[in-house]
Structure 1
């Protein structure tokens, strides 16, 4: 070793350090941490998996949908909030929609569009919220009306020009949600037309009592949240009780059992784990 050139000795020393650190940080440390976790927190270390009849049906940490093969809500189950992760609650594609409150104008489907995206169009965040609220209201038998939403579930947004106004999210031949705006006739929108030059005017409407909670119409930041708000659970309780032919008070009692409080007593809001609640209903 002493007869080796200096640059060779340096490379050998670096290789030894690399191998030692690889063994320590890549083998010994992970095994140690995994072993401690398995001894002290076995359930959490294995993913907080939930079983039914000896079969894993999900995780307490990751939400899932409760829909049929066509994507329709199954009436006897509590529904989760929307998810922007992949096709919904995909752990390999966890994400938010990255759409913000300024996203209020749809890209209308254009049969003559140059590509697939143009042909299919894109709903704005506002229209997504409006459509979800309308659907949840219909499912639960309450009003799905929200501010800045049209009765047919689109964003109530106008593009105003000197001589006319256009309800840009309502495709012709739909009837615009208002007939006139400041003396201007309101028209429905035509696919392929450029309304960018108009002044954008969201119209709030006269909605004072919003009955569909916010988490019923918006996705979480991760797209994987397994909980819903207590308000959303209570909104669904009459439907679930009716579908399962259970007393409403019994369903509400199960909601209370599966409600977790604020973290550390003051952070966040109480929440209901949807999977655990639905499994408890199946057992009931």
Structure 2
């Protein structure tokens, strides 16, 4: 007996649902699980976990900080690049800061805890801190000596034109000293917390300063990756830290440099990404070969 058209269509849809449920809901996931158990792939499927002394200490795919309880860098270890993921390298909060090149003016609240640094000030502060930690010149263009963005709000008699009537260093508050004494003959003032100098008509004017065009501190030492989880640093940043790590461990810097070379990886497939150094793996190798005294 010929089934009604509507019933035949429903039965065909039901058969398709059952077939695709078996194929995509059972067979396909089981095939992927089986592939993940193949020797050589099982570690990657489990998260590329790294163990030391019989316990898991991290993943080769996710960076981590090497700091003390107060958040200060531990000098005997190589330091990772900054992270904007949660409190740092939090895989459940992977994200960038969403701050771009135009983020140069800090939000200075009356309550310092509510202030928000601009991307420029974050970069300046990090560069200064790395310079002090590793004994190099931490200066960068458009940064003040005290580690904030060197940015002025310039007020003119005619708005955008005319003589300068007032100048404020928008990222510096008391008791700092203005990074520039005067601008076009007008003394530079410190910012007052809570004031919005841009809304008041000030023209945002970054000042380059006399920092070298090619900073000693590499870019990855002062900026976070897009995911906030990058486990690698550049070879340049690793090299910058060699002397400090060697001094803290009482070993020859050349030996630490060779260790960096052994843990330097090339581009994926020869052309994707960049050359980098996995910080966790490098620090574990340090502890194995040159235990801290």
Give the TM-score of the pair, scaled to structure 2: 0.89
Structure 1 CA distance for aligned equivalents of residues 202 and 106 of structure 2: 14
Match of 1:283 in 2: 288
Greater shift after overlay, 78-87 or 10-19? 10-19
Alignment of 1:1-284 (within 5 A): 7-39=6-38, 41-111=41-111, 120-162=114-156, 163-196=165-198, 197-208=201-212, 210-284=215-289
* TM superposition shift of 1:48: 1.3
Tell me, which stretches of 5 or more residues in structure 2 are unaligned? 157-164
* TM superposition shift of 1:85: 0.9
* TM superposition shift of 1:2: 6.4
CA separation of 1:69 and 1:254: change in aligned 2, threshold 3 A: same
Tell me, which stretches of 5 or more residues in structure 1 are unaligned? 112-117
Structure 1 CA distance for aligned equivalents of residues 273 and 93 of structure 2: 25
* TM superposition shift of 1:122: 0.7
Paired residues, what number?
A: 277
Structure 1 CA distance for aligned equivalents of residues 147 and 236 of structure 2: 22
Q: CA RMSD in A?
A: 1.8
Structure 2 CA distance for aligned equivalents of residues 86 and 214 of structure 1: 21
Structure 1 CA distance for aligned equivalents of residues 180 and 170 of structure 2: 12
Greater shift after overlay, 123-132 or 33-42? 33-42
Give the TM-score of the pair, scaled to structure 1: 0.92
